[in-house]
Amino acid sequence: MMSREPASVVEAFLQMSERVPDKLCLRFQGKAMSYAELRRSAEAFAAGLCSWGLRRGERVALWMENSPDFLAAYLSIHLVGGAVVPINTQYRQWELHHILSDAAVRLCFVDEPLRPELAHLERKLPGLELVVETGAPLKRFLIEGQPYRGRLPESEDLALIAYTSGTTGRSKGAMLLHRNLLANIRAISAAWRWTADDHLLLTLPLFHMHGLLVGANGTFVSGGSIELHRDFSVVNVYDALLAGSVTMFFGVPTMYTRLLAEAGRRHEKPPPLRLYVSGSAPLSAQTFVEFEQAFGQHILERYGLTETGMNTTNPYDGDRRPGTVGVPFPGQEARVVHPHTREPLPPDTDGEIEVRGPHVFKGYWNQPEATAECFTADGWFRTGDLGHVSDDGYFTITGRAKELIISGGYNVYPREVEEVLQGCPGVAEVAVVGLPHPELGEQVAAAIVRSDLALTAEEVIAFCRNQLASYKKPRHVVFVDALPRNAMGKIQKYVLSKQLGETLR
């Protein structure tokens, strides 16, 4: 039996599989897997990786939808000392080529339906030596029931290269060490009271930090279990909530708005869960209130980044304040500083948020200059997020530093304008960006998805008249069918800016 303090999540998983081998770990599409069964699957992957010739520290990509194979592959790569490169399944050739070449990936596991997309790229990726697709090729790759050569990773070893979502431009690879992953999930587990009795309904994609590094890692470390769905289907999720066996649900704001709509179509209300968590994009105060009215529960909103994992959380016990992202997790720090002087700012003063702690990444893969620019001399990470902190420690995110609009010398925070416009009758969704203006430097523009097709731009601007300073009001309102979003529901502002610029040209 292992007894030492685990240096990695995978080591914690092995210890859990020895303590409770027969305990439910995972249920997927009606099939249950115990901790021992998932371990055997991971070891079959690991034996295949060793037989193929993967060396410690080398990168293996996972371009797969949610499945037990994804989790077994993830664990196996760490079992043999490799580093995981998860890839968004919505990405196509341009993004794939960038990530696979930048990370120097030698081997990629891929879902069978996605395989043709990679076939077009392989001749442009000489470093990609093997692509293993699910189905028969994967079965041939696995070596079951045989020992594998490998040494468990140490805390300072590279665990994962997570590529930023690219909402503001080309993605960068954030290097997360095993100690980063373990420290963050321990802080999360303590703050959210995560135990072996928890059964998590997980529909978030495993290629994303919230799904993999929070949902899966938290389960492996706590000894709990996962009800894993391939993807988010509001009907299936609502049915799972009604079944009453899950204790936690993690989602993004779009999922919560769809659950509210589904609740309006159903006669039954799900029994209370121990915890609903939202993140990856701002949760509007309106959605928070409407969910409490419909489900009788307060969503816990948190704040995280690809580079850091989770930074702050509304409290498990205590006041969950709509529009805020709470306080730092245990053992972690956060502060608000002046964007130029870097001096800490007093409460309720907008500035840039910085974070520090054992959860913060090592740096950007092959980008020493970008790494140096994002850290202070005393170890604070410059998040690029704007916000403020209340006098009792609650943080509020107001936007991205790169998205700040400076119009006629005045600062305009898009989030503030969006919150006002969200209250306009007939507005379903809204995003605000800055566009070039010859006199003002930038002008405020709003893209709106209407719930009432009779709504006019004039009515939207008039709605703002008594609620916003004149320089904050949108000079242009464009109605769109949908806002451009990434796989996690985060609005891609740089894509929207380009679209609006072309529309208004």
pLDDT greater than 70 at residue 479 = yes
For all residues of the chain together, what is the average pLDDT?
93
| Cα–Cα distance for residue pair 159/15, rounded to 1 Å | 18
Contacts 24+ apart (CB under 8 A), 467-472: 467/420, 468/416, 468/417, 468/420, 469/410, 471/407, 471/408, 471/410, 471/412, 471/444, 472/410, 472/412, 472/416, 472/417, 472/444
Counting residues of the chain whose pLDDT is more than 90, the rounded percentage is 80
Residue 14 phi, psi dihedral angles, 5° rounding: -60, -45
Q: What angle do CA 356, 357, 363 make, to 5 degrees?
A: 75
CA 155 to centroid of chain Cα atoms:
23
Q: Does domain 232-401 have CATH number 3.40.50.12780?
A: yes
Query: With bands split at pLDDT 50, 70 and 90, how would you rate the model's confidence at 169?
Result: low
Q: What is the DSSP letter of 331?
A: T
Mean pLDDT of 118-128: 91
Helices (H) and strands (E) in the chain, counts: 16, 25
Give kind and range of the element (H or E) at residue 304: strand 300-305
Rounded CA gap, 389 and 381, in Å?
17
Are the CB atoms for 498 and 216 separated by under 8 Å? no
Which residue reads 């529009």 in tokens? 323
Instruction: Give buried/exposed letters for 65-85 (b at 16+ CB in 10 A, else e).
Output: bbbbbbbbbbbbbbbbbbbbb
Shortest CA distance to 137 belongs to which of 119, 104, 115?
115
Burial bucket for residue 198 (CB in 10 Å: 0-12, 13-18, 19+): buried
pTM for this entry: 0.85
For residue 316, which of 273, 284, 280, 364 has the smallest C-alpha distance? 273
pLDDT in tens, 7-64: 999 999 999 999 999 999 999 999 999 999 999 999 999 999 999 999 999 999 999 9
* pLDDT score at 1: 45
Report whether pLDDT(129) > 60: yes
Between residues 409 and 217, the one the model is more confident about = 217
- 196 vs 254, residue with greater confidence: 196
Fold of 404-503: GMP Synthetase; Chain A, domain 3 (3.30.300)
Distance separating alpha carbons of residues 505 and 493, to the nearest angstrom? 18
Q: Report strand pairing: 130-133 vs 173-177.
A: unpaired
pLDDT confidence band for 166 (50 / 70 / 90): low
Lowest average pLDDT, out of 370-379, 405-414, 433-442, goes to 405-414
CB 402 within 8 A of CB 168: yes
Percent of the chain that is helix, strand, coil (3-state, to 5): 35, 25, 40
Residue 111 has pLDDT above 70, yes or no: yes
pLDDT the model gives residue 469: 80
pLDDT of 131 over the 80 cut:
yes
Question: Cα–Cα distance between 466 and 24 in angstroms, integer?
Answer: 56
Q: Judge whether 110 and 132 are in contact, CB under 8 Å.
A: yes
Mean pLDDT of all residues in 259-272: 95
The arithmetic mean of pLDDT across residues 255-269, rounded, is 94
Sign of CA dihedral 367, 373, 379, 384: negative
pLDDT tens figures, 184-204: 999 999 999 999 999 999 999
Q: Over the stretch 267-300, which tens digit does the pLDDT of each residue have?
A: 999 999 999 999 987 888 889 999 999 999 999 9
Instruction: Identify the pLDDT of residue 442.
Output: 86
For the stretch 77-93, pLDDT in tens is 999 999 999 998 988 88
Sign of CA dihedral 67, 72, 74, 75: positive
Compare 150 and 492 and report the one with higher pLDDT: 492
Among 272-281, 420-429, 436-445, the least confident range: 436-445
What's the sign of the alpha-carbon dihedral 225, 231, 232, 233? Answer: negative
The pLDDT tens digits of the residues spanning 442-470 come to 899 999 999 999 999 999 999 998 788 88
Domains of the chain, by residue range, sit at 31-179, 232-401, 404-503
pLDDT at 170: 67
Selected residue with higher pLDDT from 441 and 279? 279
Longest dimension (CA), the chain: 72
DSSP characters over 138-180: HHHH--TTS-----PPPTTSEEEEEEP--SSSS--EEEEEHHH
Domain 31-179 class, CATH top level = alpha beta
Q: What is the 3-state secondary structure (H, E, C) of 366-377?
A: CCHHHHHHHECC
CB atoms closer than 10 angstroms to residue 451: 11
Is-same-fold flag (31-179; 232-401)?
yes
